[in-house]
Chain A
Amino acid sequence: MASWRSRLRLRRRRPAGPGGPPDFIGVGAQSCGAPWWHGLIAEHPRILRPIDGREGAGFFDEFSQREMTDADIARYHARFVRPEGCLAGEWGSRYLADAWTPPLIARAAPEARLLVILRDPIERYLAALRQRTREVASPDDPVLMTDMINRGRYATQLRALRAFVDPERILVLQYERCRADVLGEYRRTIRFLGLPDDGFVPRRLRRAARGETGPRGYVRALRAAGLPEHVNRRWLRNAPLRLLRGQRVEVPTELWPELEASLHAVLDPEIAALRDLVPELDLSLWPHFAHLREGVKA
């Protein structure tokens, strides 16, 4: 089911033209700001979303259970309709983590450019845990807890992706860098997708373009009046659902020492390998892994 926002956007900009393989696919990672980033990309006047508005729905999910056929590929292509001179693409935040997906992307969209946005994997884990705590009363299903940890195996996932897709066609972004230099990374992304840098600024980045940073004035006033830090737009959006379920939400924000050590045992080798795969990776932006920066003694 497409969200009301997607449907509204589609009514505003109904595309015309033939369908075909997507020009780009955002492949992950989950809880790393991918919806935010792809929302900004889709504001570009020459970039279009899938016509069914089903982004993040995971087209390739079902092919863990059965072979992807040519008819499935045609169905996928039919979603990407664009006029001459425009690009169309989608994102699926699980594609990177799902090992069966890279060969399918190589078959269904052999020329597509792929976007990967990564975040400090321990912060990613905590963000995913908070999200899960908001969604369900009992977040301790070990299958899902372990899945949340394993999604931080960025190097393993990127290696598998590069086995099927030319690394030149993969752009790896860092969520923290995107937050710190949103316009610079936005323009870098647009150039990578093959569009000229014509100075377009998404509506949501106009404050940043004017040099305004930090919360808006009314948010600052509300904070000064005592509004807690965790109350933001997403928190307010989920509030009715929580009330309906009668949940008392306790959002974990810290790790205990044993769990933190366990996460490092899994993730440190991944980040050390990722540093070699993505030389521009700035580990100073990932404080949990600062000990893995070049030149830092263990």
Chain B
Amino acid sequence: MAAGTGKIDTGPPDFVGVGAQRSGTTWWFRTLLSHPQIRPPRKGRKELHFFEPYGARPMRDEDIPRYHDLFPRRPDQIAGEWTPRYMADAWTAPLLKRAAPDAKLLVMLRDPIERYRSGVVHRATRSPDARAEIVARDAIERGRYTSQLRGLLEVFERDRILVLQYERCRLDPIGQYRRTLEFLGVDDHVPEDVQRLRGTTMQSGKKPLWPDLQEALRVTLGPEVRALVEIVPDLDLDLWLNFSQLPSDDGVLA
């Protein structure tokens, strides 16, 4: 397919990245944008946060064209956004289905304890006035991947969702990039330098966890990780070192 011809039009996004925060989504979105057939939303924004207000009030039909208008592209291109909060906000999945019924969904997951460590630093940096316990609670809850994916699967078919593993993308960026392109239905392509497109690393600010907190995180997130394998059979748990030994079935996610 030759890119860059035809009239620019707007409409529902062709793909939406819905999670997860601090899992390499900025890096991956920028890498996707290096493809000539993939367009970002207006003004090149990665995250639109469009559905966030609708946890407090209903989304009206007249709100939907405003969303569609954010995605210009030519007929031979696809457009999409990536807001990592969408997966964590329980109300978003049915709204996304209404606003973009044919969209393909992208999910990038990372070892949830490593995600927690990065998320706490990220939020504290972005919102220095936020109360520490609210930041910590949010960072833990965002790691409940199975519960969140099940919310998506209530309204989207499994084959409309591609779940990527951040650690695998780091190890094999070209292979996983091409896998993502195939899922999105665009031409094969190899970026010039995938490693140069890294997002917003927080490596320097991350703190080691103390034993009480590490154990608490393993207890609360372990069942989520174990159940995740059923939804994502190709998940490689050897890449998530914090969960090499998983706790037993807790019944909630069975």
Contact = CB atoms under 8 A, between A and B. Distances in A.
Q: Do A and B come from one complex?
A: yes
Contacts of A143: 134, 138
Given A159-B251, A276-B251, A103 B52 contact: no
A98 B147 contact: no
Given A61-B133, A103-B216, A155-B252, A150 B91 contact: no
B43 interface: no
Interface stretch (A7-15, A204-212, A260-268): A260-268
A256 B216 contact: no
A103 B215 contact: yes
A104 interface: yes
Contact of B212 (A67, A94, A155): A67
Interface residues of A, number: 51
Interface in A247-268: 252, 256, 258-259, 261-263, 265-266
B154 A265 contact: yes
Nearest to A107: B212
Contacts of A65: 132, 136
Contact of B220 (A149, A160, A259, A266): A160
A146 interface: yes
A164 B212 CA distance: 11
Q: Is the interface of A mostly helix, strand, loop or mixed?
A: helix
B9 to A, nearest CB: 28
B165 to A, nearest CB: 23
* Interface size bracket, B side: 35 or more
B11 interface: no
A270 to B, nearest CB: 6
B151 A266 contact: yes
Chain B CB within 10 A, most for which of A94, A160, A259: A259
A156 B56 CA distance: 25
A219 interface: no
A160 B219 contact: yes
Contacts of B219: 99, 102, 160, 163-164
Interface in B54-79: 55-59
5 interchain residue pairs of minimum CB distance? A64-B136, A140-B56, A67-B210, A145-B55, A99-B220
6 contacts: A64-B135, A99-B137, A146-B90, A156-B220, A259-B55, A265-B90
